[in-house]
Amino acid sequence: MNKTAKHRNKFFKPLATMLTSHVFLLMLCCTMAMPFVWMTLTSFKPFEEVSGTHWVPEKWQAENYQEVFKKLSYGAAAGEKDPQWHWWQYFTDSAFMRYYFNSLLIASWVTLLQCLTSAMAAFAFSRLKWRGRDKVFLLYLATMMIPGLVLMIPKFKLMDWLGWVDSYEGLIIPAAFTAFGTFMLRQFMMGIPSSLDEAAEIDGASKWQVFWEVIMPLARPGLIVLCIFTFMGTYKSFFWPLVMLRSQHKYTLPIGLLAFDSSQGQATHLLMAAVAMSVVPLIILFVFMQKYLVKGIQLGAVKG
Q: Is residue 77 part of a domain?
A: no
Percent of the chain with pLDDT over 70: 85
Q: Is residue 53 part of a domain?
A: no
What is the average per-residue pLDDT within 101-118?
A: 94
pLDDT range class, residue 6, cuts 50, 70, 90: low
- Those residues whose C-beta lies under 8 Å from the C-beta of residue 83, and which sit 6 or more positions away, are 70
pLDDT range class, residue 62, cuts 50, 70, 90: confident
Q: Is residue 107 part of a domain?
A: yes
Q: What are phi and psi of 252, to 5 degrees?
A: -90, 175
Q: Is residue 24 part of a domain?
A: no
CATH number for 261: 1.10.3720.10
**Does 81 have pLDDT greater than 50?**
no
**Dist. CA 30–CA 24, nearest whole Å:** 10
Q: Is residue 150 part of a domain?
A: yes
**Tally of structural domains, the chain:** 1
pLDDT range class, residue 85, cuts 50, 70, 90: low
Q: Is residue 217 part of a domain?
A: yes
Q: Is residue 182 part of a domain?
A: yes
pLDDT at 78: 43
What is the chain's mean pLDDT, rounded?
Answer: 82
pLDDT at 105: 94
Per-residue CA distances from 118 to 121, 131, 180, 203, 219 (Å): 5, 20, 8, 27, 12
pLDDT at 55: 80
pTM for the whole structure = 0.82
pLDDT range class, residue 17, cuts 50, 70, 90: confident
pLDDT at 51: 79
Q: Is residue 135 part of a domain?
A: yes
168-219, pLDDT tens digit by residue? 999 999 999 989 999 989 988 888 888 888 888 888 888 898 889 889 988 8
List the domain range (segments joined by +) for residue 220. Answer: 89-301
pLDDT range class, residue 265, cuts 50, 70, 90: low
266-279, pLDDT tens digit by residue? 778 888 888 888 99
Per-residue CA distances from 159 to 42, 154, 182, 233, 256 (Å): 40, 9, 24, 21, 22
pLDDT range class, residue 297, cuts 50, 70, 90: low
